[in-house]
Amino acid sequence: MFFGVVAMALCACSDSAPKADERLVAAYVEMRVAEQTYGGESSESRTARRDVLQKYGYTREEFLKACDKVLEDEKRWMSFQTAVSERIDSLLGIEKPKPVAKKDKK
């Protein structure tokens, strides 16, 4: 489901969307990786999430508030999800697609 949301975000983004907060994007991605790696409720997961928050300078409350702010604004959400997708792709070594130049018709 997560990747489905990311795919929808890539298709629906507009130029007027605000730029995503890169610190929040990086923290969000690492939080999701911790959940996927250790499970949602394990002590390892809690430790990993705490370490991620500390690494990016968030308290739990600040992180949740920043995520809520993104969720409350559709344009901000789309921009955020695009940035999350790009961050995941970069971590996986997937190159960003390059636009194809249109050939002139004569």
pLDDT tens-digit profile of 78-98?
999 999 999 999 888 877 777
Residue 31 pLDDT > 70: yes
Phi and psi torsions of 76, nearest 5°: -65, -40
Task: Give tens-digit pLDDT for 10-23.
Answer: 445 445 668 999 99
Q: Give the C-alpha separation, 8 to 101, whole Å.
A: 24
Looking at per-residue pLDDT, the higher value among 51 and 99 belongs to 51
Domain ranges of the chain: 2-92
Q: What is the Cα 93 distance to its own chain's centre?
A: 16
Model pTM score: 0.72
Closest of 19, 1, 16 to residue 82, by C-alpha: 19
pLDDT given at position 6: 45
Closest of 43, 40, 29, 38 to residue 81, by C-alpha: 29
Task: Give tens-digit pLDDT for 58-77.
Answer: 999 999 999 999 999 999 99
Task: Give tens-digit pLDDT for 49-59.
Answer: 999 999 999 99
Q: Give the C-alpha separation, 18 to 11, whole Å.
A: 16
pLDDT given at position 101: 73
